[in-house]
Each structure stands twice: as structure tokens, then as C-alpha cells.
Chain A
Amino acid sequence: MCKETTYLRNPDVALREEDESGSLLFNPDTGEVLVINDTARFIWDLCAEGVTLNDIINEFGKNYDDLPENLTEDVDSYLVIMTKGGFIGSK
């Protein structure tokens, strides 16, 4: 994925905070639901403003210790899933 790509939330998507099962994103245009874990939730929150992959990785570094080695790949795959489902847009 291009490092200059900027990601931004689809404003129509709603975040539902469920009790035990964490959170989910709902895309009303497709009816698609995406159950998200804490990592994906962190990414979603950052996508309120346009962010790049590097921005996201930097934010993880600022907010968490002991980051996994494959964090960049993980974040990248979340971004792909969210983009494919129309939960976020990219440019």
C-alpha cells in the first residue's frame, strides 16, 4: 500500500459499542458490519482526520509500549479490510 495514501472515515458509517463483543462498524449503504478489536478501534478513531499509514504507526508508538514487530503489516491489513468494506475511504 502506498505510504502517501490518506485514510478517512466514511461519514455514513456508524460505530456501535457493544458490551462484551467489543465494537462494530456498520456501513448503512451496504448493510455490512465489521466487528473491530482494540487495534482496529484505535485506527478507526485516528481516521476521523485524514491519516497515512505512517501517521497511524507513529500514533501507536506514542500511545503503546511493546508494539509487535509486525505492527505495520497488521495495521495495513486492517486498513485494507476497512477500505474494502467502505468503512473508510482512501486517496
Chain B
Amino acid sequence: MAQSNCSIPNHTKTPSSADISITGKCNLKCRYCFYSDEMTALSDLSTEEWKKNIKKLGDAKIMRVTLTGGEPFTRPDFFELIDSVIANRMRYSILTNGTLIDEKTIEAFSIGKRRLRLDSIQISIDGSCAEVHNLSRPDSFDRAVKGLRLLMNEGFPVTVRATISKHNMDDLDAMAAFILEDIGLPSMTNNEASPIGTGCTYKDEVALDHKDILEVGLRLEKLQKKYPGRITAQAGPLAKLRMYREMEDARKTGQPTGRWKMGFLSSCGGVFNKLGILHDGSIVPCSMLHDLTMGNMLTAELLDVWSNSPIMKGVRERYVVPLSEIPLCANCEWVEYCNGGCPGIVQQMQKTIMAPSWRMCYKNFLKANDIKSIYYAYPQEDGQV
């Protein structure tokens, strides 16, 4: 693939953060989990192996880790691993389904610096009620909400993420009311179910198409007006609509967005300051790129991998690959404004990172919705057309 003359941004000398999947085991079987069966077949590292790896992360001066899975609370040694994170001078966040959090969990957090060093604990809630939530996350709503309320009541830095799928796209208003009003969380985030991993098996059941993206995105934007500053998204329908508007604005004004390098495969900035570790110790650029293994924490030199791995370099080099050099995009009228979308989704769907994601494609989005501009989707009184 040809590259432009522009340079690849510098990566930090060491990663500033890492996503650590400490286990492949999970007590749920969610319909869109990207940790597919082939991933859960890998063996978990032992307590001592994880402690050794966590020390390596601390020695590399990594500041923050996100502990995820699988379901991290299925590990009986979970708090022992948290203590290892603390002992190695790092802060941590947790991604959990919330179903295993009970009074004993709350008590366990009170020991030492476990509360002090906790940045956030994110629970997945995918519906306003069991009937909706359990479609994506079977038999888990009551337990997840119990865990969420326990954390809330004790003043933990708890957040909720809703993964939007066909299962819950008609429940958004009720879901926002439930989480932001009934439970009373200050804010919530959302993304979308992707047809990768288990989500590939159930793609017709869960994955949103371009029409769904527009419908859901518009509804979420209305909810943002109802709950100012309380509904956010880094990915999914809300983020996509924002990106499409920025592309339109850039074309109209000739001013770049500033959020990505327009016209290049530049959507992902994560690989410049962050990496992922899988539950068997594999080092990967990102958990979404879990099949691009760069070595194992137990044997590899972490900082050598970070700076010199051909895979890591390859993902970073996407940043200077012009979309105009990609046959699929070469003649697209949006080629100068696009960023190609998430490499993780592309890798999982097309087994390459040097390609754009059709799930992010604005041209396809407009065609599917039979509109000429994202702004045509807004009522005129919003003053956007």
C-alpha cells in the first residue's frame, strides 16, 4: 500500500495505559461479545503469572490499566491482582457485567488503597427492564442492576455503558430514564453491537444497519438535549452522526476537523499510547485486534514490542495510508474527509487492517438512507440544512 509523505505521529516512549483481559471466562453468554469462542478457548494465566506481568507494566511506568475479561469478577484472585496493580504504582478501572457484585465485594474494596486507586467501574446495562436487557445479556438484568445500585449507594465511581443493538434500539428513551432518573447515575455512555466474535453468529439479530444508525443516532441526540451532558459516546450511532456532520462541515468550510487526519486511515489514535494484553498473556495492539498477537508478556520485552513490533508499526502506519490509494474509496466524493473507521472492526470482518470499514462508510450511509447529506435527516427548525 502506498504511503503519503506525511509523517506518522510519535508514539509515547512507553504506553500510558493498557487494557488487560485478566480472564477469558464469563458467567454470561452475551449475543454480541467480541470475545468469540476461539478467544475463550485460550487458557487464563495463573495468579503468579499475572503478578509478574503487572509488575512489568508498572516497571514500564504505565499509569492506568483497565481490568476486563471475560468477566473479571469470576477470578477468585481478582482483588489480589488489584492489589498487585496498586503495589506497582498504577490506577485501574474495571469493565464488568455487574452480576457478581454483592455486599462482600463492596467490603473487599474497602481494604487498603483499592477504592482510592479505582478510576471507574463500568457496568453494561442494555435495557430499561429485564425483558429487553436479557435479550442481549441473558438472565442477568436483576443481578446487574443490584450490583449497580450497591456501587451507587456506596459512592463508587460507577458508570454504565449501553450497547445498542436491534434488541434495544426501541428502548432508548426508557433506558435513559431508567439509568439517569430512576437509578440516578450522573451520565451514561453507549456504543453499538458489531458483527464480530459472537456478534457475528447473531449478526442478523443484533447488528445495526445504516438505517438503524440514523434512527438510533437521531433518537440519542434528542435524549442528549433532554439530559444535557449526560449521554456520551466514543463509538456507535451517536459518534457516527457527529463524525458525518464534521465531514460535511469540513467539505463546506475547507477546514479540517482536527479530530483525525482527513483522507487517511487515521481513525485510531489508541495505538500511540495504549496496548492490550489478552488473558493468556498475549500482547496485542488493542483488544479489538486480538488476533494480531505480538508476543507474550511472560517472555517478551514489553517496550521492545511497543516500539519495534512490525504489527504495532503496521497499525500506526495506517495513519499515513491515503484512502485515495484504496480502490474501494478512490473515486468516492468523501475520500478527502473520511478516516476509514476502526481498524479492529475491519480486521475482524475483513482480516486486514489496511482497509476502510464499510460499517463506517458515509457514502453507504447516505445511500442506504436515501439522503444527500446527514443534515437532510434533521428537521428544518434545527437550522442545520
Give the CA-CA distance A78 to B117 in the complex, in Å: 25
Residues of B within 8 A of A18 (CB): 12-13
Given contacts A15-B61, A16-B63, A20-B10, contact A28 B16 (CB under 8 A): no
A28 partner residues in chain B, CB cutoff 8 A: 63, 86, 89-91, 117
* CB closest chain-A residue, reference B63: A26
Tell me whether A29 and B63 are in contact in the complex, defined as CB-CB below 8 angstroms, given that A18-B13, A19-B10, A19-B12 are known contacts.
Answer: no
Measured CB to CB, the nearest residue on chain B to A11 is B89
B170 contacts chain A at the CB level, 8 A cutoff? no
Which secondary structure characterizes the binding site on chain B?
loop
Interface residues of B in 74-133 (CB under 8 A from A): 86, 89-91, 113, 116-117, 119
Per-position binary interface string of chain A over residues 1-41, scored 1 when its CB falls under 8 Å from any chain B CB and 0 otherwise: 00000000000111111111000001011010100000000
How far is the CB of B271 from the nearest CB of chain A, in Å?
15
State whether A14 touches B63 (Cβ < 8 A).
yes
**What is the interface size of chain A, counting residues whose CB is below 8 A from a CB of the partner?**
14
Contacts of B91 in A (CB 8 A): 28, 31
Q: Is B287 engaged at the interface, CB distance under 8 Å to the other chain?
A: no
Contact with B along A38-69 (1 / 0, CB 8 A): 00000000000000000000000000000000
Is B339 an interface residue when CB atoms closer than 8 A count as contact? no
A61 to B14, CA, bound (A): 33
Q: Which of B10, B61, B113 contacts A16 (CB 8 A)?
A: B61
A27 and B142 alpha carbons, distance in the complex (Å) = 37
The residues of A that contact B58 with a CB separation of less than 8 Å are 14
Q: Bound complex: CA of A16 vs CA of B113, how far in Å?
A: 22
Could you tell me which A residues sit within 8 Å of B by CB distance? 12-20, 26, 28-29, 31, 33
